[in-house]
Amino acid sequence: MITPPNRLRVMAVAQADDSVSDLPEFRMPAEWQPHAGTWLSWPHNRETWPGCFDEAQTAMVAATAAMAEVEPIRINVLDAQHERVVERLLETCVPRQQIEFHRIATNDAWIRDHGAIFVVRVHGGNAAETRQALDFRFNAWGGKYPPFDLDDAVAGKMAAALGVPRVRYEIVLEGGSIDVNGAGALLTTEQCLLSPNRNPGLDRSGVEARLREAFGVSTVVWLVAGIAGDDTDGHIDELTRFVDERIVVTAIETNADDPNHAVLAANRSALERARVDECALEIVDLPMPAPVYYRGQRLPASYANFYVANDAVLVPQFDDPADAAAVSILAECFPGRRVVGIDCRALVVGLGGLHCLTQQIPAVPGGLS
Q: Decide if 279 contacts 315 (C-beta within 8 A).
A: no
Q: Could you give the CA distance from residue 336 to residue 191 in angstroms, rounded to a whole number?
A: 35
Say how many CA atoms lie within 13 Å of 294 toward its Cβ. 18
Q: Which pLDDT belongs to residue 327?
A: 98
**pTM of the prediction?**
0.92
Residue 17 pLDDT > 70, yes or no? no
Residue 112 pLDDT > 90, yes or no? yes
Q: Which pLDDT belongs to residue 23?
A: 45
Which residues participate in catalysis according to the annotation? 356
- Percent of the chain past pLDDT 70, that is, above it, reads 91
Q: Which pLDDT belongs to residue 367?
A: 61
| CA torsion through residues 277, 280, 282, 283, sign | positive
Span 283-292, average pLDDT: 98
Residue 22 pLDDT > 50, yes or no? no
Span 85-90, average pLDDT: 98
Q: Could you give the CA distance from residue 211 to residue 188 in angstroms, rounded to a whole number?
A: 10
Q: Could you give the CA distance from residue 365 to residue 369 in angstroms, rounded to a whole number?
A: 9
- Sheet with strand 282-287: strands edge to edge: 240-244, 247-252, 282-287
Q: Which pLDDT belongs to residue 218?
A: 95
Q: Could you give the CA distance from residue 12 to residue 31 in angstroms, rounded to a whole number?
A: 24
Q: Which pLDDT belongs to residue 228?
A: 98
Tell me the DSSP string of 319-365.
SSTTHHHHHHHHHHHSTTSEEEEEE-TTGGGGT--TGGG-EEEE--T
Residue 124: is it exposed, middle or buried by C-beta count within 10 angstroms (0-12/13-18/19+)?
exposed
Q: Decide if 344 contacts 316 (C-beta within 8 A).
A: yes
- CATH H-level, domain 8-362: superfamily: L-arginine/glycine Amidinotransferase; Chain A (3.75.10.10)
DSSP 227: -
Q: Which pLDDT belongs to residue 6?
A: 31
pLDDT in tens, 304-347: 999 999 999 999 999 999 999 999 999 999 999 999 999 999 99
Residue 159 pLDDT > 60, yes or no? yes
Q: Which pLDDT belongs to residue 223?
A: 98
Report the chain's mean pLDDT, rounded to a whole number.
Answer: 92
Confidence of residue 124 (pLDDT cuts 50, 70, 90): low
